[in-house]
C-alpha cells in the first residue's frame, strides 16, 4: 500500500509539472510583449522623423550660408564714389548706405529662391531691412539686417512650417571710409 501511495504521489507531481500556462498567463504575456513592441516601433518612427528634420535643417542652413556669403561679397564691393559723402552723412534711413546697399544687393542676388533639400523643393526667402529707428539705431543708418527663412510648403500650420531661420547684419564696404567711422 505504501508503494501504491508513493506511485500516486509521483504521478501527481508529474501532472502538476506538465500542466503548462493557463490562458490568462498567455494573454498577459502577449500584452506585455505588445506593449514593448509598440514602444519600440514608436521610438523608431520618432528617430526617423528627427533624422529627416535634422537633414533638412542642415541642408537649409548650408543654402542660407551660401546666399549670405553672396550678400556679404556684394556689400564688401559696394562703394559708390559719386554719392559717398551724401551716404556717409545720411540723416534718414532712406538716404543711408544701408538702403542703397539693399537696392544694390536685390538687383544682383534674387530675394527668393526654390532650393532642393532631401529631394524636395522648398522656398527660401531673404528679407533685407535697414537698421533704423525701430531697432534703436541713429544716423547715418549704415547697417543692413538680413533675415532668412526656409519653409516647408506642405505644412499648413505656419508655426510648424519653418525649417530654418537665420538673421545677420551686413555693413557696406564704403562705410569704412566715411569720415565719422
Q: How confident is the model at residue 12 (pLDDT cuts 50, 70, 90)?
A: low
Cα separation, 144 vs 75, whole angstroms: 9
Q: Which of the pair, 97 or 19, is modelled with greater confidence? A: 97
Cα separation, 53 vs 64, whole angstroms: 16
For position 13, what pLDDT does the model report? 67
pLDDT in tens, 107-162: 888 889 999 998 899 999 999 998 876 767 777 788 889 999 999 998 888 788 89
For position 58, what pLDDT does the model report? 94
pLDDT in tens, 148-174: 999 999 888 878 889 999 999 998 888
Q: Which residue has the cell 537698421?
A: 131
- Are 173 and 79 in contact by the 8 Å Cβ rule? The answer is yes
Give the chain's mean pLDDT: 85
Cα separation, 34 vs 105, whole angstroms: 59
For position 118, what pLDDT does the model report? 86
- Are 101 and 78 in contact by the 8 Å Cβ rule? The answer is yes
Q: How confident is the model at residue 69 (pLDDT cuts 50, 70, 90)?
A: very high
Query: Which phi and psi angles does 19 have, rounded to 5°?
Result: -70, -35
The percent of residues above 70 in pLDDT, for the chain, comes to 89
For position 14, what pLDDT does the model report? 63
For position 96, what pLDDT does the model report? 84
Q: Which of the pair, 1 or 110, is modelled with greater confidence? A: 110
> pTM score, two decimals?
0.73
* Residue 122: strand pairing partners: 115
Q: Where are the alpha helices (DSSP H) in the chain?
A: 2-17, 23-77, 84-88, 97-108
The percent of residues above 90 in pLDDT, for the chain, comes to 41
Amino acid at each position: 500500500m505504501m508503494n501504491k501511495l508513493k506511485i500516486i504521489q509521483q504521478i501527481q507531481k508529474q501532472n502538476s509539472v506538465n500542466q503548462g500556462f493557463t490562458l490568462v498567463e498567455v494573454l498577459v504575456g502577449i500584452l506585455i510583449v505588445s506593449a514593448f513592441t509598440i514602444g519600440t516601433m514608436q521610438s523608431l518612427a520618432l528617430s526617423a522623423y528627427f533624422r529627416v528634420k535634422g537633414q533638412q535643417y542642415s541642408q537649409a542652413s548650408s543654402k542660407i550660408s551660401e546666399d549670405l556669403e553672396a550678400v556679404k561679397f556684394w556689400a564688401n564691393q559696394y562703394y559708390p564714389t559719386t554719392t559717398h559723402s551724401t551716404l556717409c552723412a545720411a540723416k534718414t534711413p532712406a538716404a543711408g548706405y544701408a538702403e542703397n546697399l539693399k537696392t544694390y544687393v536685390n538687383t544682383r542676388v534674387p530675394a527668393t529662391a526654390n532650393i532642393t533639400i532631401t529631394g524636395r523643393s522648398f522656398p527660401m526667402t531673404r528679407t533685407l531691412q535697414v537698421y533704423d529707428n525701430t531697432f534703436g539705431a541713429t544716423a547715418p543708418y549704415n547697417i543692413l539686417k538680413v533675415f532668412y527663412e526656409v519653409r516647408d510648403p506642405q505644412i499648413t500650420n505656419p508655426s510648424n512650417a519653418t525649417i530654418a531661420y537665420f538673421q545677420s547684419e551686413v555693413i557696406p564696404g564704403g562705410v569704412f571710409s566715411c569720415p565719422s567711422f
